């Protein structure tokens, strides 16, 4: 072997040794990971990866694969819902409110769809409304009819759909107590309550107490009342669930229930109705222009004949109210009575309202009306010399003098209602009331 060959062999040997050293170092650096992998595989009952299969190239390929994993798909964009709210302005119409989003033809279709539910020609200045859009396109129109219900007209694939919905409130129940020093209004105002609560108390006990003449210093009261809130703002009173008023030493109590026709009534614990069957008069009048009599000279017919009612002189257009709960049995017009309405009440009573200018919207034969509900307006139709209401009453088919008619109490509570009243009575007892009330009853002194 020549010297050059020996040198080449020596170089080869050194190169081999270097390669072995590098390989050993790489093996030792990889071994712990391999051991950990083996242990993990044993825990997971999987076949461990052989040491000989783990190479630097494999590790690099694995890392590259993880980096290049398919990314999660981006979420679909959510529709943008916007609500435009305000109050009906002077002279506003459905067209002026909605022409930003709907064509004239679409506004007409919307109004037509709403007509049977609530006519948009009846919208009133100052009432809240809302327009809801989705991605800028009209979705729904809402109008608050009163403090209890709102009209909702939604656009669908087939047109517009209208319905009435109840306004949702956050309701708390509070017990308010007070002692009168000068008036009921002042006692409630001192407690931060609104005048409307005094009116409501007066409506409950109005048949028993004259709140103008009978109130005395140190009279006291307790009411359990619902308070309604929207978005944290007070929106008025709901139902008065129970009330007690002590006037000149006499105690009066009333508990809220609804009768079989859905009308609100207040009963005593024994089931006696606090309300009388009839109002003292069906309207606010200036004077009685003609009394009930069996012989009156008719100013137009120029002859003596019975006048079976009471004439109340009042300006044309004065609202006329039903004197009691009942059912409308006739809406008509005649030569003598002009436009008139007849209502049948309980216990054989009927009431009639003559010489009307017009009827209340929505009034029809067969409809149930409640005491105090506006049914028509004063006029001078028929044989009449001027605006007035000729009001008449019958008992068992015979005319009676309305001003002298016995005014019985409204129907008493049924057996089923008496069972409910037993629980209602607990509302006026602080400890028991809080436990029995459907919601927490908070105390407040006026």
pLDDT digits (tens, 9 = 90+) for 377-420: 999 999 888 899 999 999 999 999 888 777 888 888 998 899 89
pLDDT at 432 exceeding the cut of 90: no
The secondary element (H helix, E strand) that includes residue 60 is: helix 56-67
Count Cβ atoms within 10 A of the Cβ of residue 171 and give its class: 0-12 exposed, 13-18 middle, 19 or more buried.
middle
**How many angstroms separate the CA atoms of 174 and 439, rounded?**
9
Residue 441 confidence (pLDDT): 66
Kind of pairing between the strands at 441-445 and 170-179: parallel
pLDDT digit string, tens, across residues 316-346 = 999 999 999 999 999 999 988 999 999 999 8
What is the greatest pairwise CA distance in the chain?
A: 165
Average pLDDT over residues 232-260: 93
Residue 445 confidence (pLDDT): 60
pLDDT at 24 exceeding the cut of 60: no
341 close to 363: Cβ distance less than 8 angstroms: yes
pLDDT digit string, tens, across residues 261-293 = 788 899 999 999 998 888 878 887 666 656 555
pLDDT at 226 exceeding the cut of 90: yes
Average pLDDT over residues 367-385: 92
**How many angstroms separate the CA atoms of 354 and 307, rounded?**
12
Residue 318 confidence (pLDDT): 92
Nearest by Cα to 398 from 352, 332, 350, 331:
350
Residue with tokens 């007035």: 388
314 close to 356: Cβ distance less than 8 angstroms: no
Residue 8 confidence (pLDDT): 57
The third-level CATH classification (topology) of the domain covering 81-166 is Nuclear Transport Factor 2; Chain: A, (3.10.450)
Residue 137 confidence (pLDDT): 94
378: which strand partners? 356
Instruction: Determine which of 7-16, 105-114, 356-365, 389-398 has the lowest per-residue pLDDT on average.
Output: 7-16
State both tokens at 37: 């992998």
Q: Cα angle at 44 between 43 and 48, to 5 degrees?
A: 85
Confidence of residue 16 (pLDDT cuts 50, 70, 90): low
Phi, psi of 20 (to 5 degrees): -65, -40
Residue 107 confidence (pLDDT): 95
* E strand map for 365-405: 368-369, 374-378, 388-395, 398-400
Go through the chain and tell me how many residues it has: 446
pLDDT at 444 exceeding the cut of 70: no
Average pLDDT, the chain: 82
Percent of the chain with pLDDT over 90: 53
Residue with tokens 């979705």: 139
Which DSSP symbol is given to 16? Answer: H
**How many angstroms separate the CA atoms of 197 and 188, rounded?**
8
Domain chopping of the chain, boundaries: 3-49, 81-166, 171-275+430-445, 287-400
Which of the pair, 344 or 62, is modelled with greater confidence? 344
Percent of the chain with pLDDT over 70: 75
pLDDT at 434 exceeding the cut of 50: no
pLDDT at 52 exceeding the cut of 50: no
**How many angstroms separate the CA atoms of 105 and 6, rounded?**
106
| Domains 81-166 and 171-275+430-445 are alike in CATH topology | yes
For 248, residues 6+ apart whose C-beta sits below 8 A from its C-beta are 214, 216, 219
pLDDT digit string, tens, across residues 70-98 = 677 778 888 899 999 999 999 999 999 99
pLDDT at 151 exceeding the cut of 60: yes
- Architecture of the domain made up of 287-400: Distorted Sandwich (2.70)
pLDDT digit string, tens, across residues 287-314 = 665 655 555 555 655 565 666 788 888 8
Tell me the CATH number for domain 171-275+430-445: 3.10.450.350
Q: Cα angle at 244 between 241 and 247, to 5 degrees?
A: 150
pLDDT digit string, tens, across residues 115-138 = 999 999 999 999 999 999 999 999
For 142, residues 6+ apart whose C-beta sits below 8 A from its C-beta are 129, 130, 131, 132, 150, 151, 152, 153
Average pLDDT over residues 181-189: 91
Q: Which of 41-50, 63-72, 367-376, 423-432 has the highest mean pLDDT?
A: 367-376
Average pLDDT over residues 142-152: 95
């Amino acid at each position: 072997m020549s010297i050059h060959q020996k040198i080449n062999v020596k170089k080869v040997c050194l190169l081999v040794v270097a390669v072995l050293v590098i390989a050993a170092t790489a093996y030792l650096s990889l071994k712990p990971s391999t051991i950990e992998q083996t242990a993990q595989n044993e825990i997971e009952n999987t076949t461990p990866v052989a040491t000989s299969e783990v190479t630097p190239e494999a590790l690099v390929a694995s890392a590259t694969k993880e980096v290049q994993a398919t990314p999660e798909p981006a979420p679909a964009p959510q529709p943008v819902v916007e609500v435009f709210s305000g109050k009906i302005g002077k002279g506003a119409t459905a067209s002026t409110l909605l022409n930003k989003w709907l064509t004239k033809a679409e506004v007409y279709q919307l109004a037509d769809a709403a007509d049977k539910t609530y006519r948009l020609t009846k919208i009133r200045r100052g009432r809240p409304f809302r327009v809801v859009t989705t991605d800028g396109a009209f979705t729904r129109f809402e109008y608050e009819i009163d403090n209890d219900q709102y009209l909702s007209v939604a656009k669908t694939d087939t047109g517009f759909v209208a319905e009435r919905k109840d306004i949702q409130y956050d309701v708390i129940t509070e017990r308010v107590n007070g002692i009168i020093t000068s008036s009921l209004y002042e006692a409630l105002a001192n407690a931060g309550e609104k005048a409307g609560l005094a009116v409501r108390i007066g409506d409950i006990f109005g048949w028993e107490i004259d709140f103008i003449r009978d109130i005395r210093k140190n009279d006291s009261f307790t009411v359990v009342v619902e308070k309604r809130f929207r978005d944290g703002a007070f929106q008025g009173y709901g139902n008065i669930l129970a009330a007690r008023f002590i006037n000149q030493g006499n105690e009066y109590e009333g508990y809220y229930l609804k009768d079989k026709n859905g009308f609100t009534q207040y009963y005593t614990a024994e089931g006696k109705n606090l309300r009388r069957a009839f109002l003292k008069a069906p309207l606010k009048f200036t004077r009685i222009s003609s009394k009930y009599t069996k012989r009156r000279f008719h100013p137009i017919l120029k002859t003596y004949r019975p006048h079976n009612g009471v004439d109340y002189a009042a300006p044309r257009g004065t609202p006329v109210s039903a004197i009691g709960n009942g059912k409308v049995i006739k809406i008509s017009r005649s030569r003598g009575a002009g436009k008139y309405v007849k209502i049948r009440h309980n216990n054989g009573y009927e009431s009639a309202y003559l010489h009307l200018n017009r009827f209340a919207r929505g009034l029809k034969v067969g409809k149930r009306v409640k005491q105090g509900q506006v049914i028509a307006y004063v006029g001078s139709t028929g044989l009449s010399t001027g605006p007035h209401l000729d009001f008449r009453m019958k008992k068992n088919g015979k005319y009676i003098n309305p001003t002298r008619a016995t005014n019985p109490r409204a129907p008493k509570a049924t057996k089923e209602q008496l069972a409910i009243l037993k629980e209602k009575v607990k509302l006026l007892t602080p400890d028991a009331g809080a436990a029995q009330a459907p919601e927490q009853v908070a105390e407040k002194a006026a």
